[in-house]
Structure 1
Amino acid sequence: MRLFLISIFALSILFLPNLTGHAQTNQNNDYELRMELYKRMESVTNIPWYYLAAIDQYERNVRQARRDIPKAEGITGIYFKPEMWAGPLNPNPNDDNPLSIQFFNGLGMDGDGDGKAVLSNDSDVLFAFAKYLLSYGTDHDNLKIGLWDYYKRDKTVSLIIGKAKIYKQYGRLDLDDHAFPVPLRSNYNYKNTWGAARGWGGRRSHEGTDIFADYGVPVRATAYGIIEMKGWNRFGGWRIGIRDINNNYHYFAHLSGFAKDLKLGQIVEPGMLIGGVGNSGYGPPGTSGKFPPHLHYGMYKDNGYTEWSYDPFPHLRLWERQERLKARKK
């Protein structure tokens, strides 16, 4: 029996790389299919593909973060409530006839020319959203107006526009790489301090992981994203906030300073220098030296309504392992 179990374990190890490779192949295929769909809708509507990609990515991540919305089944993430799709007064909430949907002021459209407007059809869904925006125009400012009228939330518009900016710059969708916040060759240590009690400024719990390192050790961006916040906070001292394409907000605090010419709205990528480890904070601007130098790293998720913090420790461990593996292969 023991020999049998050992054999099974050995076989699982042998086949693990193939399974991982298969998952990566499927993900790459999804990117290709999504890009083909975005480009096709761009050719029909003249709305740049990167805006459509940004909307789709925003909604995909919202659906992953919430329980009141069904998970996406196709390659797109955009969700329409049935009553919005078919029309609020339509007696048939499952109506897929474009003419009757239009009669009841529904948003459903036929995006692939089959004569039907199906809520589960990726082409129909993306075309419907694109046609909604098209009524406002195809330039940047009018698209922002259209997004605000649809979502009625400034934060959502900001997140989508940020994603569009990132997709436009890189010209691709596969932007999921990450980097550990400090160089692996530096002298650092960390443990899971999520939820630990903090007393300065009132009782509160620790919303992040502290990475202790020497003063001035480089701090790096962990993901593709946009600098959403830069400046002083009485708790965090000199800090930077970066929003990635998955609606995550990466928070770097207690910095000794910022990288040269770093500015709000700037696009960053994994491993890019953004500052240095320090001991700033717990007081008015310029306060430092009240604790050992370390980087406070936090992660927050936006779900379309609000934003909450979650434990970054597992992600840090993963990114650390991934970076070590990449270094060994070089």
Structure 2
Amino acid sequence: MKKKYLALLILLLLVPFTKVNAEEINPIKERLALYKKTATITQIPWFYFAAIDQYERQIREDEPLISISFSGEEWYGISNLSEDSRLAAIGVHNGIGKDGNNDGLAEINNSEDILYTMAMYIMNFGVTDDAIRKALWAFYQKPLAVKTIVQNARIFALFKTNDLPERAFPLPQHFNYSYRSTWGDARGYGGRRIHEGTDIFADYGTPVRATTYATIEIKGWNRYGGWRIGMRDINNVYHYFAHLSGFEQGIEIGEIVKPGDVVGYVGSSGYGPPGTSGKFPPHLHYGMYKDNGKNEWAFDPYPSLRKWERQ
């Protein structure tokens, strides 16, 4: 018996150990390969698949390789009570599930089948940008969802990748500034309310920078925030920059920005009609708002600011 165990041990030692390369199992690169494969088959640009998948990843609690989801009734057909994934059965029951890997099955949790099914859904409307927008509206029935996906598709297309992890602190670190956690502090102008952000105090004219890859959605005057800019990033987060003294030249609604791009300058505008300034010391009010597909809510940006400051 001992000889058998010894022989087994020797055999195990002789079997070469295969080291798994982290790059080989990088889910971001694996997703990109799947997007491009589906794009090649369907002629729908890969960045639309990336944007749809990215949007859904932010509204799901789990994180599968591909986050696009369909209800069982949509996928299998409302009368397919056994959820038979054979293509013939799905067709009989008028389901939309498709076979993306040619195995004869349309599996609701298979990444290739999911992407191919979404592609076929879109192709019912066409493959032009306008047709894809119509398909997105029919699928989501939510203006913000459609806008977010289209904006993110433009970002992925511009930078030619879905791997965009970089972030930046909103003020250049060689400028003087100070801040602390002011989330939830009381504010009185316009009625009692809580402070939904972090105030970063700095001199007039200090450059204000984009913190992430995003699309400018709002630019102009607000009686609370003064001159302000709002932008939405690829993670369904809206970033709000307020009390500016002015905007960077060329920054307009619809423009795409990347981390570190200057978008405006620190000021003390706000709390009154357009042009009101000087009612408080100059600072940047920075706020963050998360969208989950159903609701949008403010959350404390202080932890993110501390993290970006150390990068």
Would the TM-score normalized by the shorter structure come out above 0.5? yes
Q: What does the per-residue CA deviation read over 1:257-288, in whole Å, with 9 as the maximum and x for residues that have no partner?
A: 00001111001000000000000001111111
Once residues 194 and 94 of structure 2 are traced to their aligned partners in structure 1, the CA distance between those partners, rounded to angstroms, is: 48
Aligned to 2:90: 101
Is 2:66 the counterpart of 1:76? yes
Is 2:49 the counterpart of 1:45? no
Once residues 185 and 26 of structure 1 are traced to their aligned partners in structure 2, the CA distance between those partners, rounded to angstroms, is: 35
User: How many residue pairs were aligned?
Assistant: 291
Q: What's the secondary structure of 2:26's corresponding residue?
A: helix
Once residues 320 and 107 of structure 1 are traced to their aligned partners in structure 2, the CA distance between those partners, rounded to angstroms, is: 47
Choose which of 56, 61, 64 in structure 1 pairs with 2:58. 61
Q: What's the secondary structure of 1:316's corresponding residue?
A: helix
Shift of 1:87: 1.4
Q: What's the secondary structure of 1:111's corresponding residue?
A: coil
Shift of 1:88: 1.9
Of 166-175 and 100-109, deviating more is: 100-109
Structure 1 pair 27–295 and aligned structure 2 pair: CA distance change class (3 A)? farther
Shift of 1:102: 2.1
Shift of 1:215: 0.8
State, as a whole percentage, how many aligned pairs show the same letter.
54
Q: What's the secondary structure of 2:108's corresponding residue?
A: coil
Whose Rg is larger? 2
Once residues 205 and 255 of structure 2 are traced to their aligned partners in structure 1, the CA distance between those partners, rounded to angstroms, is: 22
Shift of 1:292: 0.3
Aligned to 1:327: none
Q: What's the secondary structure of 1:119's corresponding residue?
A: coil
- Runs (5+) with no aligned partner, structure 2: 1-20
Choose which of 22, 28, 33 in structure 2 pairs with 1:31. 28
Shift of 1:72: 2.9
Q: What does the per-residue CA deviation read over 1:1-33, in whole Å, with 9 as the maximum and x for residues that have no partner?
A: xxxxxxxxxxxxxxxxxxxxxxx9469821211
Once residues 140 and 93 of structure 2 are traced to their aligned partners in structure 1, the CA distance between those partners, rounded to angstroms, is: 21
- Counterpart residue identity of residue 76, structure 1: I
Of 129-138 and 81-90, deviating more is: 81-90
Mapping for residues 246-285 of structure 1, pairs under 5 Å = 246-285=235-274
Shift of 1:89: 2.4
- Counterpart residue identity of residue 63, structure 2: A
- Counterpart residue identity of residue 212, structure 2: A
- Is the helix fraction higher in 1 or 2? 1
- Counterpart residue identity of residue 104, structure 2: G
Mapping for residues 85-100 of structure 1, pairs under 5 Å = 85-92=75-82, 94-100=83-89
Once residues 32 and 91 of structure 2 are traced to their aligned partners in structure 1, the CA distance between those partners, rounded to angstroms, is: 28
Once residues 318 and 91 of structure 1 are traced to their aligned partners in structure 2, the CA distance between those partners, rounded to angstroms, is: 49
Once residues 22 and 295 of structure 2 are traced to their aligned partners in structure 1, the CA distance between those partners, rounded to angstroms, is: 34
Once residues 85 and 26 of structure 1 are traced to their aligned partners in structure 2, the CA distance between those partners, rounded to angstroms, is: 33
Q: What does the per-residue CA deviation read over 1:130-187, in whole Å, with 9 as the maximum and x for residues that have no partner?
A: 1100110000000000100110111110000000000110101111110000011111
The normalised TM-score by structure 2 is 0.91
Shift of 1:91: 1.6
Once residues 118 and 158 of structure 1 are traced to their aligned partners in structure 2, the CA distance between those partners, rounded to angstroms, is: 29
Choose which of 202, 209, 225 in structure 2 pairs with 1:220. 209
Of 33-42 and 101-110, deviating more is: 101-110
- Runs (5+) with no aligned partner, structure 1: 1-23, 65-70, 323-330
- Counterpart residue identity of residue 37, structure 1: L
Aligned to 2:169: 180
Once residues 81 and 162 of structure 2 are traced to their aligned partners in structure 1, the CA distance between those partners, rounded to angstroms, is: 39
